[in-house]
Structure formats: structure tokens, C-alpha cells
Amino acid sequence: MDEFLDLNRINEGTYGVVYRAKEKKTHEIVALKKLKMKNKKEGFPMNFVREINLMQKVQHPNIVAIREIIVMNYVEQDLRKFMNTMKQPFLPEEVKTLMIQLIRGVKYLHDNWILHRDLKPSNLLLSNSGILKIGDLGLARVYGDLRKAYTPLVVSLWYRAPELLLGAKEYSTEIDMWSVGCIFGELLSKVPLFQGKSEIGQINKIFKKLGTPTEEIWPGYNDLPAAYKGPSVANQVRFVFAVKLKSRKVFSSFLETPCPVSSPAGTERDPLARLLGSPNKSDFIVPG
């Protein structure tokens, strides 16, 4: 990669390190992903091969684009780091702007038969002009009409759907939708909704807040490997799971609602402009 100049390290994952770099010929800023090769004889890690394969197939304004095998478009920051620097929560219209972009990106993936399986703030990139892009497709998989068995050990713990925590191996788009809901709540409060320290602790926090499900309100619950089948107070608690929602209906209703372009006080500023320092409307565009 002699044609690129490394500037600084951005992030590090299980299989590689991402660097901010400059292309020497065009002076364009890009993101370079360098693999961790523990054993060169074993070749490229399969997760990396799958990620590159999927990224070459997807093209959407709210999904990180790949230019070459390990060269990606550079985006200034991830949502997690950005939220950590915030002194005040997002305004409602700012949350809606981010959520519309997130849902558009997830809808595109699902429409193209791709499960992301690791949606979380640190995998959502945010440009200085307010464009949100979904990144890190390392755990993504192609799915089909018929459910098939996958590993339940996907999605970071705080954003993992209850059925995965209970050992489900057959799942579909609803696990991404649960993550989207968790991100939605976190954008509003600046605090993750469920902060378990283990799988048991995580499911306990979910059940404590939402109630313990039963077969009546969650058909198929009793068939989950780790489902609790004892007495519960679920009849007195309204238990709402993203898994119960039809994802395409959720997408449609959310995307059909117009995005606000002014603050509650009526000032003519675009959503996120106050946080990203882009006061001009021409600088902030929600991809259509």
C-alpha cells in the first residue's frame, strides 16, 4: 500500500486495525483496514472475506462504501465516541434525523437479504456534515425466506435481542430491529437501555424492565433453549419486543414521516447542526 500515507489509527477490532490515511496521488482522506495475520499460512480470516464480499455488493448513502479490498471511504467519527463528548442529549429532531438514516440503511440491507448482526453506536459512523453510515459488516450474513440455524453468539451484549440471549439459533431481521430499538433509546437518554455484565445479567435487566414473557404473548418462547417456564407476573406487565413487530411495516411508517428541519424554538437550523458545527442547510443533507 505504498500509494497511501498512514496518518493515525482510528479503531481496532478482532481481525484488523483501521487507519486514517491519505492517498498520495489525490490527497484524498480514506480509511485503511490492515489485517491482523496471526498465522499467514491460514490465509485471510473468513469473517474478513465475508465482510469484503458483502461491502462490494451494497451501495447506499447510509452504509460505508468500499473502494478497494481494504480501502474505504473515510468518515470522521463513530456515534459512540461522538456521544461521549456531548454535554447535553440530542434534541428530538436530531434523534429523528439519525434514526431515519439508520433505518434507511438497515432497510436497504434487509431488502438485499443481509443481516448486519452487530448494530451498535460504535459501528455507526457520523460525518461532520451529519451523514450517518452503517459500518463493520464483519458479522453480517446473507439470509433467505426460510430461517436457518446460525450461531446465537452475535451482536454486542447490550444490543443483543432476547431470543439470542435465550439460545435461539434460527432468527432473521428482528434481531437487527431489536438493536435499532436499543440505539433509539440510547440516543434519547445518552445511556444504554440494558447494561448487563453477562448474558444472564442482560436478560434479567430486560425482563426486569419489560416483564417476563410467556407463551401467550410471545408464541414460541417456551421452545427457546434457555427460556424460563416458571410462574411470572407477565400478565400484569405489558411486554413489548421488537421481535413482535413486522420490520417492513415499522420501516415504512417511520420513513414516511417527514423529517423536521427546524428546532422546537423555531430557529432555522438543521437537525444536528448545533452539534456538528454546520449552520448552513446546504451543508447538511439527509440522503433521500
Give the pLDDT confidence of 95-150 residue by residue, as tens digits: 999 999 999 999 999 998 889 999 999 899 888 888 899 988 878 888 876 667 77
Per the structure block, which three cell numbers stand in for 176?
Answer: 437487527
Output the pLDDT for position 245.
Answer: 43
- Among 18, 50, 74, residue at a domain's last position: 74
Q: How many residues are present in the chain?
A: 288
18 and 155 share one domain: no
The residue annotated as part of the active site, out of 118, 136, 176, 270, is: 118
**Range name among 32-36, 73-77, 160-164, 266-270 with the lowest pLDDT average:** 266-270
Residues 133 and 240 in one domain: yes
Task: Examine the residue annotation and report whether 118 is marked as an active-site residue of this protein.
Answer: yes
| pLDDT at position 199 over 80 | yes
Number of H helices, E strands in the chain: 8, 9
Domain boundary among 74, 95, 114: 74
Q: Determine the residue type at 211.
A: G
Residue whose C-alpha cell reads 472475506 in the numeric block: 49
Q: Is residue 286 part of a domain?
A: no
Whether the per-residue pLDDT at 207 is higher than 60: the answer is: yes
Same domain flag for 141 and 192: yes
Closest CA to 100 of 144, 63, 62, 65: 62
Looking at the structure of the chain, the number of domains it has is 2
Domain, as residue range, for 101: 77-280
Query: How does the average pLDDT of the chain come out, rounded?
Result: 74
Q: CA–CA separation, 218 vs 216, rounded Å?
A: 6
Cα–Cα distance measured from residue 225 to residue 3, given in angstroms and rounded to the nearest whole number: 52
CA distances from 41 to 34, 53, 85 (A): 17, 21, 42
259 confidence band (pLDDT: 50, 70, 90): low
Do 38 and 85 lie in one domain? The reply is: no
Q: Which residue among 55, 74, 93 closes a domain? A: 74
